[in-house]
């Protein structure tokens, strides 16, 4: 029975193959392919902007400004008094080190 199905499809496949012709697209496919990354870039940019705005709103709403100013005042006071055992100074050092490493990695991975 499988042989009969294959034999029935052969004339149709042969007809399609015999009457096949290319349709000129005048660069349509290339234009479509060039538009695809632009759409992706717009979506990615929109998501980044929404994320940054949301992060700023949450930072302000949850009291991040007050915490950050208090943290900076404490570090400034510790630097002026020479209190090198302050744990906030240590966390600041780790933060600066981490941001430096992340920046160097980001620069080294950028496409040229």
| pLDDT above 50 for 1 | no
> Please, which residues have CB within 8 angstroms of residue 59's CB and are 6 or more apart in sequence?
65
Coil vs helix vs strand at 110: coil
Instruction: Please state the rounded mean pLDDT for residues 46-52.
Output: 95
Q: What are the residue ranges spanned by the domains of the chain?
A: 26-62, 63-112
Give, in order, the Cα–Cα distances in Å from 13 to each of 5, 7, 17, 19, 50: 12, 10, 6, 10, 52
Alpha helices in 1-112 (DSSP H): 2-18, 28-61, 64-81, 87-109
In this predicted structure, what is the pLDDT of residue 2?
52
Kindly report, residue by residue over 25-48, the tens digit of the pLDDT. Answer: 888 888 888 877 777 888 989 999
Check: CB of residue 105 under 8 Å from CB of residue 92.
Answer: no
pLDDT band for position 16 (cuts 50, 70, 90): confident
In this predicted structure, what is the pLDDT of residue 46?
93
pLDDT band for position 98 (cuts 50, 70, 90): very high
């Amino acid at each position: 029975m499988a042989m009969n199905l294959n034999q029935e499809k052969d004339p149709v496949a042969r007809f399609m193959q015999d009457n096949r012709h290319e349709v000129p697209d005048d660069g349509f496919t290339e234009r479509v392919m060039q538009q695809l990354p632009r759409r992706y870039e717009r979506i990615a940019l929109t998501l980044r902007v929404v994320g940054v705005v949301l992060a700023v709103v949450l930072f302000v709403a949850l009291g991040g400004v007050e915490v950050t100013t208090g943290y900076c005042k404490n570090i400034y006071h510790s630097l002026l008094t020479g209190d090198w055992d302050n744990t906030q100074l240590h966390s600041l050092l780790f933060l600066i080190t981490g941001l430096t490493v992340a920046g160097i990695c980001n620069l080294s991975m950028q496409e040229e």
